[in-house]
Chains A and B, each alone.
Chain A
Amino acid sequence: GENVEQHPSTLSVQEGDSAVIKCTYSDSASNYFPWYKQELGKRPQLIIDIRSNVGEKKDQRIAVTLNKTAKHFSLHITETQPEDSAVYFCAASKNSGYALNFGKGTSLLVTP
Chain B
Amino acid sequence: DTGVSQDPRHKITKRGQNVTFRCDPISEHNRLYWYRQTLGQGPEFLTYFQNEAQLEKSRLLSDRFSAERPKGSFSTLEIQRTEQGDSAMYLCASSAQSGRALNEQFFGPGTRLTVL
> Which A residues fall within an 8 A CB radius of B?
4, 6, 32, 34, 36, 42-46, 49, 89, 91, 95-105
- Is B48 in the interface zone, CB < 8 Å from A? yes
Extra 8 A-B pairs, beta carbons < 8 Å, given A4-B42, A46-B104: A6-B42, A32-B103, A45-B107, A49-B104, A96-B102, A98-B48, A101-B45, A105-B42
> Which B residues fall within an 8 A CB radius of A?
4, 31, 33, 35, 40-45, 48, 56, 58, 91, 95, 97, 102-110
The total of interchain contacts (Cβ-Cβ below 8 angstroms) comes to: 56
Closest partner residue, chain A, to B95 (CB atom): A97
Closest partner residue, chain B, to A91 (CB atom): B42
Nearest Cβ on chain B to A38's Cβ, whole angstroms: 9
B108 touches which one: A43, A97, A100, A101 (CB < 8 A)?
A43
* 27 residue pairs A–B, Cβ–Cβ below 8 Å: A4-B42, A34-B104, A36-B107, A42-B109, A43-B110, A44-B43, A44-B91, A45-B107, A46-B105, A89-B43, A91-B42, A95-B103, A96-B103, A96-B104, A97-B31, A97-B95, A97-B102, A97-B103, A98-B48, A99-B45, A99-B56, A102-B44, A103-B42, A104-B40, A104-B41, A105-B40, A105-B41
